[in-house]
Structure 1
Amino acid sequence: MHGAALAGQQDFTIVNKTGYPLKHIYVSETNNNSWDEDILGRDILNDGEYFNVTFAKAEKTCKWDMKVAYDDGETAVWEGLDLCQISKLTLKWNKSTGVTSAIKE
């Protein structure tokens, strides 16, 4: 298992199945009062695309919060995600409720 040993155990993949482009994704340690920088940078995560989030091997924290922002400014936030147990988050948007959900794998 060369290469995989260098990865942080918190690494995960975000899959956008919302039907809309995501403009910003923020991931910060739980209990951090501010969001770290936008991990997408200048990119946009279009519907049907995925983005691999990687952490330093030395990172020990398992609980993280995540915020996504659509290009219209709407946002969704998840708190206390145990990224030591999650390898994939598939984001979906429910048109009737207006709620963005995350399916954990």
Structure 2
Amino acid sequence: MTSIFAKGAAAVAALFLLHGAALAGQQDFTIANETGYALKHIYVSESANEKWDEDILGRDVLDDGEEFELSFDKAEKTCKWDMKVIYDDGESAVWQNLNLCKISKLTLRWNKNTGVTSASIE
């Protein structure tokens, strides 16, 4: 199978579901949306990359209360990744230098008092 996050390869959300445990990369993780709002776009790119890779959700939306599992190719060695989410109203949040080799789940929450989206790491 084609690697979803191989260097230079386009991310295709449909292929995430096709990866089996035997092909799992050490960077595999789950995004849980507990923001209260839908996420329209999610981008994940190597930290050293100056541009965002393609939207991993494609045409889908990650609704509040839903989770999305990201799978990497078993051969992928990079641990440090950046992630950007964009809400359906255009607001966004960015996290840099996420060590995906040590993260199994990111739970996203929005704080209405501060207007900040945070990510709890498991």
TM-score by length of 2: 0.83
How much has 1:4 moved relative to structure 2? 2.4
Q: How far apart, CA to CA, are the structure 2 residues paired with 1:33 and 1:27?
A: 12
Q: Percent identity?
A: 77
Q: What corresponds to 1:38 in structure 2?
A: 55
Residues 10-67 of structure 1: CA deviation (Å, up to 9, x unaligned): 0000000000000000000002100000000000000000000111111000000000
Q: How far apart, CA to CA, are the structure 2 residues paired with 1:56 and 1:81?
A: 17
**After TM superposition, which residue ranges in structure 1, 4 or more long, deviate above 3 angstroms?**
none
Q: How far apart, CA to CA, are the structure 2 residues paired with 1:64 and 1:40?
A: 17
> Unpaired runs of 5+ in structure 2?
1-19
User: Number of matched residues?
Assistant: 103
> Unpaired runs of 5+ in structure 1?
none
Residue from 48, 65, 68 that aligns with 2:82:
65
Structure with a larger share of its residues in strand: 1
Residues 64-100 of structure 1: CA deviation (Å, up to 9, x unaligned): 0000000010000000000000000000000000000
What is the root-mean-square deviation in Å for CA atoms of aligned residues? Answer: 0.7
Question: Are positions 1:77 and 2:94 aligned together?
Answer: yes
TM-score by length of 1: 0.96
Residue from 23, 26, 38 that aligns with 1:9:
26
Q: How far apart, CA to CA, are the structure 1 residues paired with 2:103 and 2:22?
A: 17
